[in-house]
Structure 1
Amino acid sequence: MTGVHDDAVAVLSAWAAPTPDQSAIRYALLTHLAARPDACERACVPGHLTASALVVDAAGEHALLTLHPRVGRWVQLGGHIEPEDPTLQAAALREATEESGIDGLTISAAPVHLDVHPLTCSLGLPTHHLDVRYLVRAPAGAVEVVSEESVDLRWWPLAELPDDVAFGRSLDLSG
């Protein structure tokens, strides 16, 4: 996954973090990428990059969340980077499309948020997800379809997002 690794370095190097906390996470991700050529692979047990998407409706008033079967909470769509993903952005869009069942999604050019969280993921080992998050817009009239990767999907008013969706309430949707 050399291509997506190089893309991650370029994307995060160019990204202007909106807060000091986000800048610190950006630096940590870049340091991890410099130390680990396998940082984008789920087999990187100390932690690996993941790609997520906050999917909002065409009006920018609701976000589509998934009831995640592994974590048991409502969270944004996203997941592991696959070998065929050429970029972080492509991985986030693929995940959003697969998990929402919605065609015609459009994705922000740059990430909108970063997060690091502990998780026991699909390999069954405790690790950290180094999550690069993008804003994705659904077309008008989009109807979600629950996939095998989700217990349920639901559109949430942005003002009523669960606390676990750390970046949803403060996200600037104007861009």
Structure 2
Amino acid sequence: MSLHADALTTLRDWEAPDDEQEALRRRYLTHLERHPDGMLRAGRPDHVTASTLVLDAAGTSVLLTLHAKSGRWFQVGGHTEPEDATLAGAALREALEETGIARADLALDPVPLLLDAHHVPFCGPGENVHHLDVMFVAHAAASAAPSISEESLDLAWWPVDGLPDAELAPFVARALARRRHAGQAGSASGAAGSSSDGGGSSRAAADQPSR
């Protein structure tokens, strides 16, 4: 399956959490259905990108990068590459490249967190280029050791209640809500396992995501 086909499948299967996100989901699908190059940086005026919101192990901080071109703090992410096989894979690759965290210390949920379409004036030629971003969430292990990349001016953990940009707050809130839901599901599964097998354990839902 090509990256383009995977993105179509991912977005067709994804259950949008509200009407606004559903409208974006349909916009993304229409774009990809009409544009075979819709996943590529060269696609104009819009193209799909992939980003990752990285939470720390405790869920109290988020790792953000100070973007070199915009001068603003964002989640990590960017354009897909020809070698990317899946949309989630592209998001993970970007996260690993931009944070320097070892692969073993970063767990990405392959189910998209949310969609965020925005105008990008500095993305090559053309004045009306939009990134149709598909945002994922990943959890860094306590042993994770981030290191700044050449693509950013800085990289830092920010407390979830002290973000540098108010526009990030809804994204982080949604990531934390999913984390809590996964924890509750894991606890319920663990309780059920204990009653049925005399103390068996279960992994948290965040470690066993299902599309």
- TM-score tier (shorter): over 0.9
- The 5-angstrom pairing of residues 52-63 of structure 1 reads 52-63=51-62
1:68 Cα deviation (Å)? 0.3
Which among 144, 160, 163 is matched to residue 162 of structure 2?
160
CA distance in 1, matches of 2:75, 2:4: 23
Normalising by structure 1, we get a TM-score of 0.94
Is 2:173 the counterpart of 1:169? yes
CA distance in 1, matches of 2:11, 2:101: 28
Change (3 A) 1:152 1:124: farther
1:170 Cα deviation (Å)? 3.4
Q: Which residue of 2 aligns with 1:149?
A: 151
- The 5-angstrom pairing of residues 5-154 of structure 1 reads 5-103=4-102, 104=104, 105-126=106-127, 127-154=129-156
Query: Residues 130-154 of structure 1, C-alpha deviation per residue, up to 9 Å, x if partnerless?
Result: 0000001111131210000110011
User: Identity over the aligned pairs, expressed in percent?
Assistant: 47
CA distance in 1, matches of 2:135, 2:89: 12
CA distance in 2, matches of 1:100, 1:91: 14
Higher gyration radius (CA) = 2
The answer (yes or no) to whether the contact 2:113–2:174 under 8 Å persists in 1 is no
Please tell me the residue identity of whatever aligns with 1:116.
A
Equivalent pairs counted in the alignment come to 174
1:156 Cα deviation (Å)? 0.9
The answer (yes or no) to whether the contact 2:77–2:91 under 8 Å persists in 1 is yes
Larger relative contact order, structure 1 or 2 (CA cutoff 8 Å, min sep 6): 1
Structure with greater proportional helix content: 2
Change (3 A) 1:137 1:59: same
Deviates more, 1:156-165 or 1:57-66: 156-165
CA distance in 2, matches of 1:72, 1:88: 26
1:122 Cα deviation (Å)? 4.3
CA distance in 1, matches of 2:143, 2:85: 29
1:121 Cα deviation (Å)? 4.0
Which structure 1 residue ranges, 5 or more long, are not aligned?
A: none
Find the residue that maps to 1:91 and give its secondary structure.
Answer: helix
Moved over 3 A (4+): none
